[in-house]
Amino acid sequence: MRVSLDRRNRRVHVRLDNDHDAYFLFLLIDRGDTVRGWTVRDYKPSGAKEGERTKMFLGIKVERVEYHRFRAGVRVHGVIVEAPEWSEGLLGRHHTMQLDIGGEVEIEKERYDERAIDTILDLARSSSTRVLVLSLDDEEAVIAELSVLGVHVKLQLRNRRGRGIDGKGGELLRGFFEDVERALRSVLERGHYDDVIVVGPGMYIDMYSRVSGRRAKYVKVSSGGMAGIYEFQRAAVELMEELNIGMGATYVEEVYRLLSRDPGRIALGPDAVKAAAELGAISTLLITDEYYKERAGEAGEVVLKVHRSGGRTVIVPSESEPGQRLAGLGGAAAILRWSVEAVTSPP
């Protein structure tokens, strides 16, 4: 993502270079912003018998923003507030602007919160890492891409060969692992990945390493398949952070740890987080992207108060495993500088 900031005029100029950039553009655009860019619209000039699809540069007052992960695009819905001089009757009409890879757009923020914007841009800068994870056991194998946005399953294979010895003396499980290795090579050939990690029960990943001869990171977990990937995300938090695909897992783990040991240091849910922000008590604010977008006004006020009191904000993708755990806590949680009881108790 290529970004330039015009703080004086509250403007952010963005070019989308890859599919991950669309997600961060989605986070940057809020309701009430004005988005300017090239778009295509049905337009019928005065006196013309028929309209036609016409490319034009428009400014849209944002009413709603949608992110489409698998299409890697953003759709901005709103009212046209700026249009070419040659156009007629467009101002005030609704329009949907599709923003895709390679496109450029300017966002004029209704409220320019520099710290909130920096939080999103910092997350974007660390999002380029993509890791391919193979999770296997004797029943199935799952090949998935892990990035800061979460888990994207590329391929699932069931073991239909069996687990014993075939009539010719061959190891059926070895044959399954050879199938898995061929599938993994095929996925690697179609995309660029920074690392390969193989996870599963110890005896199976050891056998796979001998069959494939592949140099990769091997991590032992109790299960294969999707269960193994989720277990890996929980168990290998330090490795995830080292690879820049932690997705807030370290902070979510800290929330759960404090809940059992020092619950007064944790605020859970939007209301409690808002109250803690009013007190300036938040050290780290954790919010899912769904909470950040669906309750934009409220979330924006909380983020601003946290930043003004010297705290940090971590936005956690809802589709990631840490995001699902955070959603189970209400979509928002905060690690506090001091116990809430100490603040609210009578002198």
Distance CA 220, CA 218 (A): 7
Confidence of residue 345 (pLDDT cuts 50, 70, 90): very low
pLDDT > 90? residue 290: no
Q: How far apart are CA 43 and CA 274, in angstroms?
A: 46
pLDDT reported for residue 343? 47
DSSP state of 194: S
State which of 23-32, 36-45, 74-83, 86-95 shows the largest mean pLDDT: 74-83
Q: What is the pLDDT of residue 341?
A: 61
Contact (Cβ atoms closer than 8 angstroms) between residue 176 and residue 134: no
Start-end ranges of CATH 3.30.1330.30 in the chain? 249-344
* Confidence (pLDDT) at 344: 44
Higher pLDDT residue, 129 or 160? 160
CB-based contacts of 86-91 (< 8 A; 24+ apart in sequence) = 87/43, 87/56, 88/45, 88/46, 90/41, 90/43, 90/58
Position 57 scores a pLDDT of: 95
Q: What is the pLDDT of residue 70?
A: 62
SS3 (DSSP) at 258: helix
Q: CATH homologous superfamily for 131-242?
A: eRF1 domain 2 (3.30.420.60)
Three-point CA angle 325, 329, 330, nearest 5°: 115
Question: pLDDT tens digits for 46-65?
Answer: 766 677 888 999 999 999 99
Which of 16-30, 141-155, 167-181, 205-219 is least confident?
Answer: 167-181
Query: Which string of DSSP letters, residue by residue, matches 135-151?
Result: EE-SSEEEEEEEETTEE
Q: Residue 11: what pLDDT?
A: 94
Q: What is the pLDDT of residue 166?
A: 54
Q: Which fold has domain 2-112?
A: SH3 type barrels. (2.30.30)
Structure tokens at 100: 């895709």
pLDDT at res. 77:
96
**Single-letter residue type at 96:** T
CATH 3.30.420.60 residue ranges for the chain = 131-242
Indicate if the pLDDT at residue 272 is higher than 90.
yes
Topology (CATH) of 249-344: 60s Ribosomal Protein L30; Chain: A; (3.30.1330)
Record the pTM: 0.69
Nearest CA to 245 among 178, 162, 161, 152? 152
Residue 139 near residue 156 (C-beta atoms within 8 A): no
Q: 76 pLDDT band (50/70/90 cuts)?
A: very high
Tell me, what's the pLDDT at 88? Answer: 81
Between 335 and 24, the higher pLDDT residue: 335
Positions of CATH 2.30.30.870 in the chain: 2-112
Check pLDDT > 80 for residue 13: yes
Q: What angle do CA 16, 20, 25 make, to 5 degrees?
A: 55
